[in-house]
A and B are shown apart, each in its own frame.
Chain A
Amino acid sequence: MTDEREDGEDVTTPLLEIRGLSVSYRTRGGTVEAVRGVDLDVWPGQVTAVVGESGSGKSTTAHAITRLLSANGRIDAGTVRFGRHDLTTLSEAELRTVRGARIGLVPQDPTVSLNPVRRIGDQVAEVLRIHGLATRRSAPAEAVEVLDRAGLPDAAVRARQYPHELSGGMRQRALIAVAIAARPELIIADEPTSALDVTVQRVILDHLQTLTQELGTAVLLVTHDLGVAADRAQRLVVMSRGKVVEAGPTGDVLAGPQDAYTRHLLASAPSLTTARPRTPVSAPEAETAPLLEARNLVKEYRLPRAGDGPRTLRAVDDVSLTLRRGRTLALVGESGSGKSTTARLVLRLTDATAGQILLDGTDVTTAKGAQARQLRRRAQLVYQNPYASLDPRFSVAEVITEPLRAFKVGDRASRLSRARELLDRVALPAATLERRPAELSGGQRQRVAIARALALSPDLVVCDEPVSALDVSVQAQVLDLLAELQADTGVAYLFISHDLAVVRQIAHQVAVMRTGRVVETGPPEKLFTDPRHEYTRELLSAIPGGRLPSPAQTATSRGAAS
């Protein structure tokens, strides 16, 4: 053991050396090759990031290292040299002395990765007990100490609590504590912060970085976010479709990407320094009456009476917004900021507790029945998750024509031709009409959802996180499409997002929300360069990707800084 630790400090050889790794999954549909001939090195004390989109095999690679694959996964070929051992040839019992003790894992989603019926402290102590690093008596105290080191406030109190009593960020710290408890030489962090809000993400990553630097631990960071990788890693490995397409020191890869896919990924990564041309705004627009006006909206939810806490939750607190025709207003905020609730209020999918909603000067706050249906005709919605917002039993044609049928617009034939036209608009082939949602990719589904929203030629489309469920390269395409459609049809967007970089690309006006209130509004250029409110500044600085090259440096990026 001591030998290898010394080995590990020898910076001339990699700590982890993966050669020719191939992993496949056996499924009913046949064998899926998830990882094909991957080479990867992790050097002692360094952070190596594996970047790729969904299905690139990055997570499988990470799990194959300690053979934590699901039951149907198999390593077909390759070696994983760690210290003196090839991990692929170790017995299960030998491997257990490596897992947790010498290689720690920080899993993807902290909300489901802790055992819900066991106390936090016990779960940390378990690592120490398994590897004989603590006695039954000393383990609890040591677990508290490790939790404290992982940056969990009031560690002694938290150790006695259960996972559901902790926030997502705190749970991730508990999982980091599990990973570092035995002071391993390598930590594999699999999308450690993707499920967390951006400000929490930064704090957690900062802490992980400090910790590993102190202990000299190497980190293999798996992420879909090029920005995170660029900020944190010394070395970058880019994966696509199960293969490594590019690897090297972070600076080199970012400055001079050799592979076409890397260039594509860099170009589509939304960052604050890139901006796409938005729909041009004609000057006199400002004088016309606003399309949508919300005045002092309030939405309260009644809470189940628990202890002495407040009886109601103010999800939306005195929010006023104005949106003009053909423009885009973005609502930005983290989870729980009330941005989605605001959108639902505007569409009258929930009733406001107080305040007023005006559409084209007409008060629709309490619209019922026929009037509410007329509102639906003019205001449509695109949901966050295109996998859930389309009825799996419907064909694409049925999905798109549903609003037309609901309002008895035209006959069957004319509705179908309208659907065909709309598909063309969202750049999908007419053959898609007969398909079912399950046969389409995420990006294609979102296009179908957009086509449905446009079917009735509405004045307003509310987009609720329309791209956050999509891969970055697909995100860019969908955002472009939205901008194009706005230019063609003059539709106005109320655009809900947690992602400032996305908002920067599409919005004419931005409202930053926090705990139900709008803390700052303004045009994006001004808001992002000269934020007034403390919270806006915090949000901006938390955005990863500061080290990404600006578009001027990347030849492939389009429409540099407008």
Chain B
Amino acid sequence: MSQSLVDDTALGLARPVDTAPGPEPRSRGDVRRLLRFLARRPGLLLSVVVLVLVVLASFWPGLFTSQDPLKGVPAQNFRGPSAHHWFGTDELGRDVFSRVVHGAQLSLKATLIAVLVAFVVGGLLGVVAGFVGRWVDDVLMRFVDVLLSIPALFMSLALVTALGYGTVKVAVAVGIASVASFARVARAEVLRVRQAVFVEASRASGARWYSVLGRHVLPNAAGPVIVLATLDFGSSILAVSALSFLGYGAPPPAPEWGTLISDGRNYLANAWWLTALPGLAIAATVLATNRIARALDGEWSRQP
């Protein structure tokens, strides 16, 4: 936006912007705006495509591969990447690409659970602490400080030790480990908005607390928390795959992404594709969500 760049903001005020496109139907305008926005950012467009493909793979793996992820042809083991086996085959002759595609389901499910746990629990803690304030804030935030003091991976490992192995348990463990950061961001945002002049203006005009919370505070505080959720999606994929790499995820032969790499590790010297290509899938997915989070965080709202 032009305002703050064009001098003379003597009182630190933004100048009026004439962005009003008139009474154009909002939805169609928004779609066109989104398309133009994406067209100017090929990297972002690619990220959206990657994420869409991953989501599709997790729901309908059959769209991408017809080969069975579990049954292999022993005679065709350790084949390098080729037209027939895009990602090559593993020690049992199973198609690695098919295993990555089918693995998307398990990995994505775990990630979604993790983000949801962190978002709901952390968000709630943060909103209550920020809005109620006083001793409730103190108590909740001291608790969050404690959660924060235990490194996330150690926290997840402790929970795995207590809960046991498996995709869902790993997901919950990862989610709880990032509750603290959600609580902090949600609280900071609620506090920021709560102290905004327009919130006091609303209070001064007689609005009740629940209407102030619901109509002003939550909608204005939601943005950064949603951005964090997008970022957390990426880091949860990493955390979940790290735990399954260490062997705490779904039991074999389920093709979880981290497990695939862990399996391939034994053949690192002679079959590089067993580790490199599934890892690429993880990296591409995380990179894509991080890029989208960055776009949500500023570029979208800052564009004209």
> Does A224 sit within 8 A of B, measured CB to CB?
yes
- A407 to B302: give the CA distance in the assembly, Å: 36
> Does B196 sit within 8 A of A, measured CB to CB?
yes
Q: Name the one of A60, A70, A194, A376 contacting B206, with C-beta atoms under 8 angstroms.
A: A376
Please, what's the 1-or-0 string for B211-235, where 1 marks a CB less than 8 Å from any CB in chain A?
1000110011000000000000000
> Does A413 sit within 8 A of B, measured CB to CB?
no
* Highest count of chain A CB atoms <10 Å: which of B202, B219, B220: B202
> Does B29 sit within 8 A of A, measured CB to CB?
no
B16 to A: closest C-beta gap in Å: 4
Given A385-B13, A391-B220, are A32 and B205 neighbors across the interface (CB < 8 Å)? no
Tell me the nearest residue of chain A to B14, going by C-beta.
Answer: A387
Q: Which residues from 1 to 33 on chain B have a C-beta closer than 8 Å to any C-beta of chain A? A: 1-2, 5-20, 23
- A438 to B23: give the CA distance in the assembly, Å: 15
Please tell me the size bucket of the interface on B: 35 or more
- A53 to B10: give the CA distance in the assembly, Å: 9
Tell me the nearest residue of chain B to A387, going by C-beta.
Answer: B13
Q: Name the one of A73, A403, A441 contacting B5, with C-beta atoms under 8 angstroms.
A: A73
Verify A402–B205 contact, CB threshold 8 A: yes
Residues of chain A contacted by B23 (CB below 8 angstroms): 431, 434
- A406 to B212: give the CA distance in the assembly, Å: 10
> Does B269 sit within 8 A of A, measured CB to CB?
no
Verify A403–B2 contact, CB threshold 8 A: no
Tell me the nearest residue of chain B to A64, going by C-beta.
Answer: B7
Residues of chain A contacted by B17 (CB below 8 angstroms): 438-439
- A336 to B17: give the CA distance in the assembly, Å: 33
Q: Which residues from 330 to 356 on chain A have a C-beta closer than 8 Å to any C-beta of chain B? A: 347, 349
Verify B2–A25 contact, CB threshold 8 A: yes
Please, what's the 1-or-0 string for A406-423, where 1 marks a CB less than 8 Å from any CB in chain B?
110000000000000000
> Does A172 sit within 8 A of B, measured CB to CB?
no
* Highest count of chain A CB atoms <10 Å: which of B16, B215, B302: B16
Tell me the nearest residue of chain B to A24, going by C-beta.
Answer: B6
Tell me the nearest residue of chain A to B304, going by C-beta.
Answer: A29
- A188 to B1: give the CA distance in the assembly, Å: 28
> Does B66 sit within 8 A of A, measured CB to CB?
no
> Does A88 sit within 8 A of B, measured CB to CB?
no
Verify A72–B5 contact, CB threshold 8 A: yes
- A411 to B253: give the CA distance in the assembly, Å: 63
Residues of chain B contacted by A376 (CB below 8 angstroms): 204-206
A478 to B: closest C-beta gap in Å: 15
Tell me the nearest residue of chain B to A69, going by C-beta.
Answer: B7
> Does A521 sit within 8 A of B, measured CB to CB?
no
A260 to B: closest C-beta gap in Å: 21
- The secondary structure that dominates the B interface is loop
- A73 to B203: give the CA distance in the assembly, Å: 42
Given A383-B197, A387-B14, A439-B18, are A406 and B8 neighbors across the interface (CB < 8 Å)? no
Q: Name the one of A60, A224, A389, A440 contacting B16, with C-beta atoms under 8 angstroms.
A: A440
Verify A388–B302 contact, CB threshold 8 A: no
Q: Which residues from 43 to 98 on chain A have a C-beta closer than 8 Å to any C-beta of chain B? A: 52-60, 63, 70, 72-73
Tell me the nearest residue of chain A to B220, going by C-beta.
Answer: A393
B148 to A: closest C-beta gap in Å: 25
> Does B207 sit within 8 A of A, measured CB to CB?
yes
Q: Which residues from 179 to 215 on chain B have a C-beta closer than 8 Å to any C-beta of chain A? A: 196-208, 211, 215
What is the total of A-B residue contacts with beta carbons within 8 Å?
A: 131
> Does A452 sit within 8 A of B, measured CB to CB?
yes
B137 to A: closest C-beta gap in Å: 18
Please, what's the 1-or-0 string for A308-348, where 1 marks a CB less than 8 Å from any CB in chain B?
00000000000000000000000000000000000000010
Verify A58–B19 contact, CB threshold 8 A: no
- A108 to B198: give the CA distance in the assembly, Å: 27
> Does B303 sit within 8 A of A, measured CB to CB?
yes
Residues of chain B contacted by A373 (CB below 8 angstroms): 206
Verify A385–B204 contact, CB threshold 8 A: no
Please tell me the size bucket of the interface on A: 35 or more
Residues of chain A contacted by B8 (CB below 8 angstroms): 52-60, 224
A214 to B: closest C-beta gap in Å: 29
Verify B304–A28 contact, CB threshold 8 A: yes
Verify A194–B11 contact, CB threshold 8 A: yes
Please, what's the 1-or-0 string for B101-132, where 1 marks a CB less than 8 Å from any CB in chain A?
00000000000000000000000000000000
Verify A403–B206 contact, CB threshold 8 A: yes
> Does A481 sit within 8 A of B, measured CB to CB?
no
B225 to A: closest C-beta gap in Å: 15
A291 to B: closest C-beta gap in Å: 18
Tell me the nearest residue of chain A to B20, going by C-beta.
Answer: A439
Residues of chain B contacted by A349 (CB below 8 angstroms): 200, 203-204
A146 to B: closest C-beta gap in Å: 27
> Does A537 sit within 8 A of B, measured CB to CB?
no
Verify A393–B10 contact, CB threshold 8 A: no
> Does A34 sit within 8 A of B, measured CB to CB?
yes
Verify B197–A385 contact, CB threshold 8 A: yes
Please, what's the 1-or-0 string for A14-54, where 1 marks a CB less than 8 Å from any CB in chain B?
00000000000101111010100000000000000000111
> Does A120 sit within 8 A of B, measured CB to CB?
no
Residues of chain A contacted by B220 (CB below 8 angstroms): 391-393
Please, what's the 1-or-0 string for A348-388, where 1 marks a CB less than 8 Å from any CB in chain B?
01000000000000000000000001001100110101011
Tell me the nearest residue of chain B to A458, going by C-beta.
Answer: B205
Residues of chain B contacted by A385 (CB below 8 angstroms): 13, 197
Residues of chain B contacted by A435 (CB below 8 angstroms): 20
* Highest count of chain A CB atoms <10 Å: which of B8, B20, B207: B8
A391-B198, A403-B207 given; 4 more Cβ-contact pairs under 8 Å: A53-B8, A55-B8, A390-B201, A402-B205
A-B contact pairs, 26 of them (CB 8 A): A27-B2, A28-B1, A28-B302, A34-B6, A34-B7, A54-B13, A57-B8, A60-B6, A194-B10, A373-B206, A376-B205, A380-B204, A381-B201, A388-B197, A390-B201, A391-B198, A402-B202, A402-B207, A403-B206, A431-B23, A439-B19, A440-B16, A442-B13, A452-B205, A453-B205, A469-B11
